[in-house]
Chain A
């Protein structure tokens, strides 16, 4: 029995220690009361430690996903940010909250979404315009090479300098876009905690509603 419970306990490492202790204590008591001692008899009664652990962990799975968010690495954060924005949107859509609140949240999220898209598109447009200008200058420079050496060199130089400048500024732009995404994620997460978490709790105790 002890070896069965040890194996079971090893599979429950993700749980907080007090919760794990409670689960283990329940099944230890159960097996003692059932008079079951051998490992095989335990498996016959409760399934393999793995099966039992899966059953218990499924019960905790919602809290798991929340924990995963907080343990993501630095590199994954931007992706996780984008994903959390979507998740919050979906969570809000799937939660039965009052319509005015829902509309307000959706409006805020929509506004944020539009703002981010607008900023992103304008940044892209600026980059594209500058790049095309530089390319035109270079092409002109090459074309004028045989007619006027100095003018052609001026155009070539200007075009190449512009592209060089762009390459210098690009990391700054990427950093800026990342900052915006993170800002939006923070705002949506704040919304989430403000409204959805309260409703989560209500879902967990949805049977209470009938009591009223």
Chain B
């Protein structure tokens, strides 16, 4: 994909994925990569940011003698997801209008 995703949108995508279920780092990366091309190393800064902003919390769960850290959406995260969805709709429509070449004069 030639178009780079902005960090706000990437935050939104991760929050949206966490809406349905809690994920651990690797599964989350796989899930994202199924839809968009993001590099494998991108996710840690994103998750750190989401956690710092209080949009996700983490909990550890034992798995084969080690821990897996799961990420869980918070209420603030749900609010933020709504914001991103709204912002994206506005942006999407504006860009679409421009790209079609019928921008308001």
How many inter-chain residue pairs (CB < 8 Å) link A and B?
57
A45 & B53 in contact (Cβ 8 Å cutoff): no
Residues of chain A contacted by B80 (CB below 8 angstroms): 207, 210-211
Whether the pair B29, A207 counts as a contact (CB closer than 8 A) is no
Which label, helix, strand, loop or mixed, suits the secondary structure of the A interface?
helix
Interface residues on B, range: 20 to 34
Residue interface bits B1-19, CB-to-A below 8 A is 1, else 0: 0000000100100000000
Set A34, A56, A59: member contacting B26, Cβ < 8 A = A34
The answer to whether residues A55 and B83 also contact, given A30-B25, A204-B52, A211-B76 and a CB cut-off of 8 A, is no
Partner-contacting stretch, out of A21-29, A83-91, A127-135, A169-177? A21-29
Instruction: Decide if B79 touches A211 in the complex (CB within 8 Å).
Output: yes
CA distance A208 to B79 in the complex (A): 10
Q: Closest CB of chain A to B47's CB: distance in Å?
A: 8
Q: Would you give the 0/1 interface string for A161-198, flagging 1 where the beta carbon is closer than 8 Å to chain B?
A: 00000000000000000000000000000000000000
With an 8 A cutoff between CB atoms, is A52 at the interface? Answer: yes
Contact at A55–B79, with CB atoms within 8 Å? no
Q: Do A56 and B44 touch (CB < 8 A)?
A: yes
Residue of A nearest to B55 (CB): A207
Does A32 reach chain B (CB closer than 8 Å)?
yes
Is B69 a contact of A207 with CB atoms below 8 Å? no
* CB within 8 Å for A29 and B45 given contacts A205-B53, A210-B83: no
5 pairs, A vs B, C-beta closer than 8 Å: A26-B44, A26-B47, A33-B68, A204-B52, A207-B11
List 4 additional contacts besides A34-B26, A210-B83, A210-B87; criterion CB under 8 Å. A47-B39, A59-B45, A59-B49, A205-B52
